[in-house]
Amino acid sequence: VLDLGGTNITVFNIKDNGKLTINDSKPTTEHKFKVDDNGLWILDAEGTKTVKGGVITGGSATGNGGAISVGSTSTLTLNGGNIVGNTATQSGGGVCNKGTFTMKDGAISDNTAAEGSHLYNAAGATAEIAWNGSVLFSGETEDTSTVVNKGTMYLAAEEGQSITFHN
């Protein structure tokens, strides 16, 4: 678990020409969350919401990319894990992508932003969402949108699998 506790900082800021790959090494580990008064999920051993696997949470940005901000010439690959309970005042409460973002399995849920609460894919950016199990975009927050795509987005699933968007 990477928890910034709501501090005003983006968890990962992948600057131009940077590359980062995150692998979820313990996808069955359970983490409990509670929902705060603003609708954000916060780690809490007594919480009623459960997430399995690695977690990036508690990021907060004045601007874009509450949890992760990907620069225009940068690449992020996320292999499993969860991006939960982050916030941005502008775009991409979970992920603000201006470069190349690939997600293979996992969840982006219960983040907030003025635009693209979970994923904001900017003009000129590329996002690839590929899964063989599940990728879930969901949330209990009432902001403007779950996923905003102004660039190129590829969605791919193995036969018999599905992607789920809830808002």
Reported as a single tens digit per residue, the pLDDT across 6-24 is 555 566 677 777 777 777 6
Instruction: Tell me: pLDDT of 64 over 80.
Output: yes
Single-letter code of the amino acid located at 25: S
**How far does CA 56 lie from the centroid of its chain?**
8
77-126 pLDDT tens trace = 888 888 888 899 999 999 999 999 988 878 888 888 999 989 999 999 99
Backbone phi and psi for residue 76, each to the nearest 5 degrees, phi listed first = -125, 130
Percent of the chain with pLDDT over 90: 20
Query: Which 3-state string (H, E, C) describes the chain?
Result: CEECCCCCCCCEEECCCCEEEEECCCCCCEEEEEECCCCCEEECCCCCEEEECCEEECCEECCCCCCEEECCCCEEEEECCEEECCEECCECCCEEECCEEEEEEEEEECCECCECCCEEECCCCEEEEEEEEEEEEECCCCCCCCEEECCEEEEEECCCCCEEECC
Mean pLDDT estimate for the chain: 78
For residue 64, give the amino acid letter.
N
- CA dist 41 and 62 (Å) reads 18
Whole-number Å distance between alpha carbons of 55 and 66 = 14
The Cα–Cα gap between 27 and 42 comes to: 19
